[in-house]
Amino acid sequence: MDFRPAHLPTLSTCSYSDLRRFAGIFLIYNKNRYLGMPRRKTQQPEPLKRFKVDGVEVEVRDADTWLIGRGLHKQKDWELKADKMLESVFPDYFFPDPFSTGQLIWKEPRRDAHYMRTASSFAIEMQLRGFSEPDADDDSSLRKRSYQHVMKHILALKNAVEEENRSGV
């Protein structure tokens, strides 16, 4: 292909697809598309403890050693709030066994008091307990994210308690 100026197509002779192909070629060959300086890598805090379990590296972190990144602080704030909701819900469903010391019993609440049966009733209960902003009308985060998180952990705890009670340990 000859690239002398006489053989190059003019803008008036190029079709729309030719311009798109030209733009694609430009982006492929011009890898440095950004004029600004690249960001430095964020220095992550060291974990409290690091060890391996079955070949998988495990890091133990607390609030002071969380990973730093875009939006991670909001995610951690939500996780702490969801854990507080779980702590609030736990005593309503698990009771100490009167016949065994240190054992728990899963007790299904009455239907009218069973707020974990639907996401909407869970959201209403959490709003009454003060887990949402008083002036906020939107409970979609409680219904979509928090309910799923709390329900998953309640069911896992229920299964663990029933398994422990069945095994007689």
Parent domain of 96: 69-167
Instruction: Give the pLDDT mean for 40-47.
Output: 85
CB atoms within 10 A of CB 131: 16
pLDDT score, position 26: 45
> With pLDDT > 90 as the criterion, what percentage of the chain qualifies?
15
Q: What confidence tier does 56 reach under pLDDT thresholds 50, 70, 90? A: very high
φ, ψ (nearest 5 deg) of residue 153 = -75, -35
73-89 pLDDT, tens digit per residue, is 888 888 888 889 999 99
Indicate whether 112 belongs to any domain: yes
Q: Other C-beta atoms within 10 Å of 101: how many?
A: 7
Number of domains in the chain: 1
Measured in degrees and rounded to the nearest 5, phi and psi for residue 11 equal -65, -30
Does residue 40 belong to any structural domain of this protein? Answer: no
Q: Is residue 2 part of a domain?
A: no
Contact (CB, 8 A) for 161 and 97: no
